[in-house]
Structure 1
Amino acid sequence: MIIPALDIINGKIVRLYQGSYHMKTNYGNPVSLLRQYIRQGAKMIHLVDLTGAQNTAKKQSLLISQLIKEAHPSSKIQIGGGIRNTTDIEFLLESGATRIVFGSVAITNPKMVKKWFKYFDPNHLVLAVDIRISPTKDRKIAIHGWQKETNLKLEQIIEEYYAIGLKHVLCTDISKDGTLLGSNISLYQSVCRSWPKISFQSSGGVYKLTEISKLRCAGVKAIIIGRAFLENKFTVAEAISCWQNE
């Protein structure tokens, strides 16, 4: 599946370079872009509330609800950014979101997150793992918008949640995100081979259509694409066609 990404700050679509709020490019109105992507055949949209991620008191809940309604019934919504507690997930699912993406909280409060896998259908939950690959090839997890690197390795965190029913993982190589420098194909080959029952989503770096076939061959079940669509490197329809023809 091809999943277009819309990152939102203060009601506007933006792209951050390497996760920096100080290095952002504005792309306009989220409703018009959402409609455009759905017209081109997107069956799921990945929304990120970057304002809410930075400050949970400023979540863009009304806008997110509007976008979910706008997408229905043509397209489903996967949403992340500022997910901190059970109430956040309940609100978004009740608003019509299909999948809820959480990242840092899985590291900082694993006790609570593990309860989510009992309370909610695991098919509605997506673990986001943002990794930095060290010179020794260790894949270390970064949290809090990539501002803090932990000593936890990718393998540790996936195994911890796989044991309790983890089904979806959104995996980002931080060095690739927002760069249009290409995806880390070998990373996805490795994780898809290690956990064949998990549906992996790749994120970061896609800039040409030929990468879509490489990623699908690597084993990912979905590719999240943001900047390439916003900068018209290719269309959502073209990307979907490449995915289907692989």
Structure 2
Amino acid sequence: MIIPAFDFLEGKSVRLYQGNYLDKKFYNIDLYEHLKNYKKKGVEIIHLVDLSGTKNVQNRQLTLLKDIIFATQIPIQIGGGIRTEKDINILFELGFKRVVIGSSVITNKIEVKKWLKIYGPNKIVLALDIKIINNIKKISINGWLKETNYTLEEIVDFFSSESLKHVLCTDISRDGTLNGPNIILYEEIAKKFKNIKFQASGGVSKLSDIASLKKTGVNSVIIGRSLLEKRFTIQEALECWQNE
């Protein structure tokens, strides 16, 4: 499916280039009009990232998040600075459908495994952000500032015992660049882990990118900047996915 994405920093819609807070572009959009249009067109889920919460959990944009939940009936998955069970409970109580767990997947593996058991695999998305070096898919954390020694394959295997279902995989080198997605990456992981519903993220700039990603076997494509900059419409994106 197509998952439109919105990142928010200090209440404003923004896109970062390769996760760099110093290299950002703000968008003056009417979010609520976008949500209304997406609902009408049949969008099934929205991806939100609270970048203020990512930097400092004390700055989580709760008022904005409440407003967004109130404004739409489209289910929303939310990421950004989710590090404790309390964080998860707050977001589920607000009405979010899924939470997206990033750095804690590495720094707090046992706890994340427990969350998968408590909330169930339909409620948790693991966000694995990778840098590919000599075809080794190394995971980066802490806003992509710290490279770990863990590979994507190791982490998916580790959590599979808890019936892991949703994985958002981003090739950092493609994120926010509009340079096209890493098709080979998604072909490899979709083929290797057939039980995982992968969400591809990063680099989509044209409709042919969506068609190529559908062929890899991923479950979903997250699209942010291309929709914000009107490179194609949500209607065109949905039709491209359905018709491929």
Identify the TM-score tier after normalising by the shorter chain: over 0.9
Residue number in structure 1 paired with 2:180: 182
Which stretch of structure 1 is more off in the superposition, 4-13 or 91-100?
91-100
Determine if the alignment matches structure 1 residue 118 to structure 2 residue 101.
Answer: no
Cα distance between partner residues in 2 of 1:33 and 1:50: 20
Cα distance between partner residues in 1 of 2:238 and 2:223: 11
Determine if the alignment matches structure 1 residue 15 to structure 2 residue 15.
Answer: yes
Cα distance between partner residues in 2 of 1:221 and 1:98: 17
Q: Could you tell me whether the CA contact under 8 Å between 1:209 and 1:239 is conserved in 2? A: yes
Cα distance between partner residues in 1 of 2:53 and 2:38: 23
Q: CA deviation at 1:13?
A: 0.3
TM-score by length of 2: 0.97
Q: CA deviation at 1:86?
A: 0.7
Q: Which runs of 5+ in 2 are unaligned?
A: none
Cα distance between partner residues in 1 of 2:151 and 2:79: 22
Cα distance between partner residues in 2 of 1:34 and 1:179: 24
Cα distance between partner residues in 2 of 1:32 and 1:105: 34
Residue number in structure 1 paired with 2:63: 62
Determine if the alignment matches structure 1 residue 129 to structure 2 residue 128.
Answer: yes
AA aligned to 1:208 is K
AA aligned to 2:96 is A
Cα distance between partner residues in 2 of 1:18 and 1:105: 20
Q: How does 1:142-157 map to 2 (within 5 A)?
A: 142-157=140-155
Q: CA 1:208–1:139 in 2, change beyond 3 Å: closer, same or farther?
A: same
Q: CA deviation at 1:41?
A: 3.1
Cα distance between partner residues in 1 of 2:39 and 2:61: 21
Cα distance between partner residues in 2 of 1:42 and 1:121: 23
Q: Aligned residues: percent identity?
A: 51
Q: CA deviation at 1:106?
A: 0.9
Q: CA deviation at 1:40?
A: 3.6
Paired residue secondary structure (1:190): helix
Q: Could you tell me whether the CA contact under 8 Å between 1:202 and 1:223 is conserved in 2? A: yes
Paired residue secondary structure (2:173): coil
Q: Could you tell me whether the CA contact under 8 Å between 2:18 and 2:176 is conserved in 1? A: yes
AA aligned to 2:150 is L
TM-score by length of 1: 0.96
Which stretch of structure 1 is more off in the superposition, 95-104 or 24-33?
24-33
AA aligned to 2:162 is I
Report the aligned-residue RMSD: 1.1
Cα distance between partner residues in 2 of 1:85 and 1:142: 20
Cα distance between partner residues in 2 of 1:39 and 1:48: 23
Residue number in structure 1 paired with 2:28: 28
AA aligned to 2:80 is G
Residue number in structure 1 paired with 2:210: 212
Cα distance between partner residues in 1 of 2:175 and 2:41: 24
Cα distance between partner residues in 2 of 1:163 and 1:155: 14
Residue number in structure 2 paired with 1:139: 137
Q: Could you tell me whether the CA contact under 8 Å between 2:121 and 2:162 is conserved in 1? A: no
Which stretch of structure 1 is more off in the superposition, 55-64 or 89-98?
89-98
Q: CA deviation at 1:163?
A: 1.8
Residue from 229, 232, 238 that aligns with 1:231: 229
Residue number in structure 2 paired with 1:81: 80
Q: C-alpha deviations, 1:88-147, integer Å up to 9, x for none?
A: 11121121111110110110011211110111121010000000001x211100001101
Which stretch of structure 1 is more off in the superposition, 105-114 or 25-34?
25-34
Q: CA deviation at 1:44?
A: 0.9
Q: CA deviation at 1:230?
A: 0.7
AA aligned to 1:124 is K
